[in-house]
Chains A and B, each alone.
Chain A
């Protein structure tokens, strides 16, 4: 009798404990729910509405006028630069993203090996994470790469592969191959400087793979090559996907990005808020398409240990 009653009590307690937990969950999320509705959903919807309007600044506030798809039409068919810039940015991203992913994976694997001076090497490779400032990199990079600003650079083609290009051309390789090769070398600077976070992600991913898998596979007679493809790559695939998404977003929101500049200049300099919003929405759609593509191609292939 007594035990039954206490069991009943316990059941009620347990139910309320679960329910209390549920309510507490909302409490923990409350600040974010306020934030996301005020600083994300509201402006996002407004941005979409703005993109269909012509906005002028009146004395009491904004005067909005619905103009249907005029902004989009102007942007896509009349503006001579926007579409071209959009295509250029997308092509550049398509080229750079795989290189960045493979490069950072390669570096992460090296930094995960044991060798003398590893700690120092890591300090160097995480440097781009600290100096992420696009402004600084542009100011410094401009001076390093431009030929005519500084006598120093003129005398030292250090970061450019003119010498190598001449050498390869003289050795009889076709021009197209030489150009892709040297193009990659010319980009090494910007690529290494853009793969800081990716290297960190891959490194922490590599370290989360239990050592015993490798031990077991080597006992079974697998070579290092086998265990790389059969253990490292599948277990790393979720991080690879994450890194891919991050690289796409990072590439699209870069400081030097020409489209972001045009979004800003049409709003802040020309006061064409509607056009600016239309550009921003269009840009977001392009990013979404890229991410959806990445998901369709790679999202299914990622291998999750637990789920």
Chain B
């Protein structure tokens, strides 16, 4: 009892004696609280900005076209309809296009993970002549926009010949256009879409692992490759997940690649970009094509369809995603 009284007295005295200190405390506390309030409002506002397109898509996608002209309908339509989705699926040939996009996305992601991991490991853990220059080239591949090399690459893929090997074997050049190989082949050799960034991520990640791992493995009789897939691979989970998500997301939303290499096939983003053109096949569209309202709800439905698989993936992997980015140490 006495003790507590003593302490109280000390505190009390202090506060009264040093008035300025007391005031400072109050000031600090009020500043803290007001900052918390400002922060909360700011975050809510920005979250709203971020969710707004999704709400907009949802609100429009289920709206009957007639209600577009009804000014009393703002967010929640008076009746719900799936017709927009049905039309959108027909217009962008959704299932076909989805199949294309998923196959390309998943396979290129896997190829990119494999190749970039190997290369990143090579850059991180081996000292050899010319490593610095080669790494500068990696950075250069990030900087050069893919559009700069797109035209020669298009021609290259049109008459593809692997270092003249096909000619030697008597096959002649092959066209990679309209095949998935236009995406797989660069991915396998570590030059897919934004591969430079993934190499960088893996390099940073492997550099952070302790050196003793390799030495121990080498003493136990592992060669470099065995060390890589027995010791390093099992530890790279976080980096793999990060790269997988980025790779699949960027491939999913890439427009220029498919636009360039596909003439008859399409992926989600090219199909979506051509929506207004291909929507002319719908009944009732051609007559009033001057009116954008006719298509707007269907376009939103198509957008929602295109975003939905990624959103689902994100919601499933979201927890691991945030964690793995923190643990990957992209920053190094």
Contacts and interface: CB of A to CB of B under 8 A. Distances in A.
A249 B145 contact: yes
A288 B145 CA distance: 10
A291 interface: yes
Nearest to A159: B52
B143 A291 contact: yes
Contacts of A245: 143
A35 B163 CA distance: 11
Contacts of A86: none
A187 to B, nearest CB: 11
A188 interface: yes
Given A43-B156, A281-B148, A135 B272 contact: yes
A162 interface: no
Interface in A20-45: 20-29, 31-36, 38-44
**Secondary structure of the B contact surface, majority rule:** helix
**Secondary structure of the A contact surface, majority rule:** helix
B331 A25 contact: no
Contacts of A247: none
A141 B148 CA distance: 27
A208 to B, nearest CB: 5
B272 A31 contact: no
B189 A34 contact: yes
B224 interface: yes
A136 interface: yes
Contacts of A260: 145, 147, 256
Contacts of B142: 249
B253 A124 contact: no
Contact of A137 (B53, B123, B155, B252): B53
Contacts of B185: 39
B162 to A, nearest CB: 8
Interface residues of B, number: 105
B131 interface: yes
A31 B126 contact: no
A21 B313 CA distance: 40
Interface of A: 17, 20-29, 31-36, 38-44, 46-47, 50, 61-62, 107, 110, 113, 115, 117, 119, 121-137, 139-141, 143-144, 149-152, 155-156, 158-159, 188-189, 192-193, 200-201, 203-205, 207-208, 238-239, 242, 245, 249, 252-253, 255, 260, 263-264, 267-268, 273, 276-277, 280-281, 283-284, 287-288, 291
A32 B326 contact: no
B103 interface: no
B259 interface: yes
Nearest to B43: A121
Contacts of A288: 143
B49 A188 contact: yes
A264 B152 CA distance: 12
A88 to B, nearest CB: 17
Given A32-B189, A35-B186, A133-B269, A143 B147 contact: no
A192 B42 CA distance: 12
A46 B151 CA distance: 9
A47 B126 contact: no
B256 A156 contact: no
A139 B272 CA distance: 9
Contacts of A280: 145, 147-151
Contacts of B4: none
